[in-house]
Chains A and B, each alone.
Chain A
């Protein structure tokens, strides 16, 4: 046994415990973070409500149990019978909020996934090939980013016609450049790292370096962004349907449209604005809390 083996042996008795990688370590930190736990709880509640809507909603979304109680000046507020009160057509507000969660979750998740997929493709093209591909892709991204997001979403939704699909596409499109730029920036900085240079010096092929080193190490901020995008997508979806660009069938409850239709009754029935508004805020808050804490858990710079 040579000298340095003897030394190394002494040294290596002291290997630190735990064989987890960075992301697993981040997950462990997140599970102990009270703020993140609140976020997870909100998300869990939101998702469960959406999935189990038919089981937990006291009425159907189109049922009008209080049809006879409604006059243009009196819309009954919360009561023991109807916890969130009735809406202007005598429907149970609580049941509509519960069914509305389905629309919000669907739009949020699909729009985020579409936007992320598009962004990742563009970002990867730019980040992996560089040179003129990078220039072309990034100029397109710049142009897209220079148009205010909601304005562009309105334009896209208006052109595509009134349907839930067009809302999803519109929101996806405005998120594409955000993901593209994020991924490209990450990939470029990873490409400059020593371990990529090391892989090159070992003779690892370019494609393999991109796929097994650069890309996996660029994904952490993308995951954070995806979580945060879910929150904004929910708000944007509400905003679009508030502006009358939501789903084609007005009887399907959507939180944004529910808000919009209360404008006439705001004075007599403030609960009709309060509950959908709260629902939007709570759903978005859950994803935001988790996203922010995830960012801190993944990025050593934020670690306290």
Chain B
């Protein structure tokens, strides 16, 4: 498409970081582990989300990255109370969501919607597109011509009105995700939680959906929480990026700041692991390899959650004192990191263990 540069450089939105649409405080989601045949008793808990604070300013995009099992999807669902949090608080536009009863929460859902990873699984195979798009309108007893509204929604996401009478299996993956997005904006919500919105799509389609999300944000003034494992996608789409590891945030900063100066050892390792489609870069950069796997969230390590795999681990504090998210003197105050040694690592006074570093190939 030759008219690609038509919208050269997205209009930068003006965001007031103090105008929070969503405020999450010390959110916890613990799933009980029960044992026993007749009488079940709780023998432990999987701490999927364990004390997360996050603020999402109105009109902004916050990205949440982490690897599988870090609790990022559970966090996204707990925000919307699709999974019940076991502790902490979530305030949406001043309302304490956890204090609402079922019916009040149901009504509140108009304001906050979700886009799912797998567009096929998130659409009822027996529902045609019209029914998919008008179901939210019916659920909230919204007056007006539902059919016209459905057409309007299709137009917004770039699908033809003829799609109305078709079923999900008749569409390609990218088109299905457009339907999922149309459904999410049907109620004119303020917040959209997008859980891996592009990872199930073919590479050449991903950009279409990313661009669509950005366009809709500009048009409708949406606020996004984008949850993904792909750091490159999140960096592209988000204003602020939060990095999650084993149920907690380890670092949070403006997107460019985080990329320019990652402070947490985990963020550094994560960034160095993302392959970049450019041989010149790949051949010259240093990699930090993490040893081993994610520990079980049922028995997280004491102290810093990351210390078992951290190439910068120190003799003191790391093993027994859980670091809090804090700002660092040399960095903007919005850049917060949960590492005892962030200053020393940033200044180069602490170097990673040699065994964890892979130098670029000599060839």
In the complex they form, do A and B come into direct contact, defined as C-beta atoms under 8 angstroms apart?
Answer: yes
- B7 & A195 in contact (Cβ 8 Å cutoff): no
Residues of B contacting A20 in the complex (Cβ-Cβ under 8 angstroms): 167
Tally of A-B Cβ pairs under 8 angstroms: 120
Q: Is residue A251 contacting chain B, with contact meaning CB distance below 8 A?
A: no
Chain B 167-208 near chain A by CB (<8 Å), digits 1 or 0: 101111011001010010011000000000000000000001
Task: Name the residue of chain A whose CB is nearest to the CB of B4.
Answer: A3
0/1 string, A87-128, CB within 8 A of B gives 1: 000000000000000000000000000000000000000000
Docked pose: A199 CA to B186 CA in angstroms: 13
Q: A197 contacts B82, CB within 8 Å?
A: yes
Q: Once bound together, how far apart are the Cα atoms of A20 and B128, in whole Å?
A: 10
Contact assessment for B170 and A2 in the assembled complex, using a CB-CB cutoff below 8 Å: no
A residues less than 8 Å from B109 (CB atoms): 201-203
User: Nearest chain A CB to B103's CB is how many angstroms away?
Assistant: 9
- The residues of A that contact B124 with a CB separation of less than 8 Å are 195, 199, 213, 217
A281 interfacial by beta-carbon distance below 8 Å:
no
Q: How far in angstroms is the closest Cβ of chain B from A187?
A: 14
Question: Chain A residues with Cβ under 8 A from B123's Cβ?
Answer: 195, 198
Which of B6, B158, B159, B169 has the most CB atoms of chain A within a 10 A radius of its CB? Answer: B158
Any chain B CB within 8 A of the CB of A146? no
Within 8 A of B (CB), among A1-37: 2-9, 11-12, 14-16, 18-23
Asked if A204 contacts B139 (CB within 8 A), the reply is yes
Q: Taking the complex as formed, is A208 at the interface, i.e. its CB lies under 8 A from any CB of chain B?
A: yes
Residue of A nearest to B171 (CB): A15
Contacts of B165 in A (CB 8 A): 19
A217-B6 Cα distance, complex, nearest whole Å: 44
Q: Decide: A22 and B116 in contact? CB cutoff 8 A.
A: no
Q: A217 CA to B124 CA in the complex, in Å?
A: 8
- Tell which of A6, A12, A23, A205 touches B139, judged by Cβ atoms closer than 8 Å: A205
Q: Is residue B114 within 8 Å, beta carbon to beta carbon, of the partner chain?
A: yes
Q: Is B147 an interface residue (CB 8 A)?
A: no
A200 within 8 A of B: yes
Q: Is the CB of B170 within 8 A of A202?
A: no
A206: nearest residue on chain B (CB-CB)? Answer: B102
CB-based contact A2/B7 at 8 Å: yes
Residues of B contacting A249 with CB < 8 Å?
A: none
- B163: Cβ under 8 A from any A Cβ: yes
When each residue 1-33 of chain B gets 1 if its CB lies under 8 Å from chain A and 0 otherwise, what string results? 101101100000000000000000000000000
Choice from B107, B140, B170, B186 contacting A19 with Cβ under 8 Å: B170
The answer to whether the Cβ of A74 comes within 8 Å of any Cβ in the partner chain is: no
Contact with A along B108-152 (1 / 0, CB 8 A): 111001101010011111111000000110011000000000000
- B116, B125, B158, B160: the one contacting A198 at CB < 8 Å is B116
Nearest chain B CB to A14 CB, angstrom units: 8
Report how far A5 CA is from B158 CA in the complex, Å: 4
Q: Do the beta carbons of B136 and A204 come within 8 Å of each other? A: yes
Bound form: Cα–Cα A205–B170 in Å: 28
> CB of A189 within 8 A of chain B?
no
When chains A and B are docked, how far (Å) is the Cα of A208 from the Cα of B134? 14
Give Cα distance in the complex from A5 to B6, angstroms.
Answer: 13
Pair B113/A202 contact, Cβ less than 8 Å:
yes
Q: Decide yes or no whether B64 CB sits under 8 A from chain A.
A: no
Whole-angstrom distance between the alpha carbons of A202 and B106 in the complex?
8
B49 within 8 A of partner (CB): no
* Binary flags per residue of A201-227, CB closer than 8 Å to B gives 1, else 0: 111110010000100110000000000
B355 on interface, CB distance cutoff 8 Å:
no
Check if A71 is an interface residue, CB within 8 A of chain B. Answer: no
Set of chain A residues within 8 Å of B183, measured between Cβ atoms:
198, 202
A16-B170 contact in complex given A194-B116, A195-B124, C-beta closer than 8 Å: yes
A4→B208 contact, CB < 8 A: yes
Query: Are A19 and B167 also in contact (CB < 8 A) when A4-B211, A198-B114, A204-B135 are?
Result: yes
User: Is A268 positioned at the interface, with any CB of B under 8 Å from its CB?
Assistant: no
Q: How far is the CA of A216 from the CA of B1 in the complex (A)?
A: 43
Contact with A along B260-293 (1 / 0, CB 8 A): 0000000000000000000000000000000000
State the CA gap A304–B108 with chains docked (Å): 46
Q: Is A193 an interface residue (CB 8 A)?
A: yes
B253: which A residues are within 8 A, CB to CB? none
| Given known A-B contacts A15-B171, A21-B167, A195-B124, A202 and B178 have beta carbons under 8 A apart | no
When the two chains form their complex, are residues A203 and B110 in contact, meaning their CB atoms are under 8 A apart? yes
Are A4 and B113 CB-contacts (below 8 A) given A22-B126, A202-B183, A213-B124? no
Q: Which residues of A contact B114 (CB under 8 A)?
A: 197-198, 201
Additional A-B contacts beyond A14-B172, A201-B114 (9; CB < 8 A): A4-B158, A4-B215, A6-B1, A11-B175, A20-B167, A194-B118, A194-B121, A202-B187, A203-B139
Task: Spell out B's residues near A (CB within 8 Å).
Answer: 1, 3-4, 6-7, 77, 80, 82, 106-110, 113-114, 116, 118, 121-128, 135-136, 139-140, 155, 157-160, 162-163, 165-167, 169-172, 174-175, 178, 180, 183, 186-187, 208, 211-212, 215
11 CB-based A-B contacts, threshold 8 Å:
A3-B4, A4-B212, A5-B158, A8-B159, A21-B167, A194-B118, A195-B124, A198-B114, A203-B108, A203-B110, A217-B126
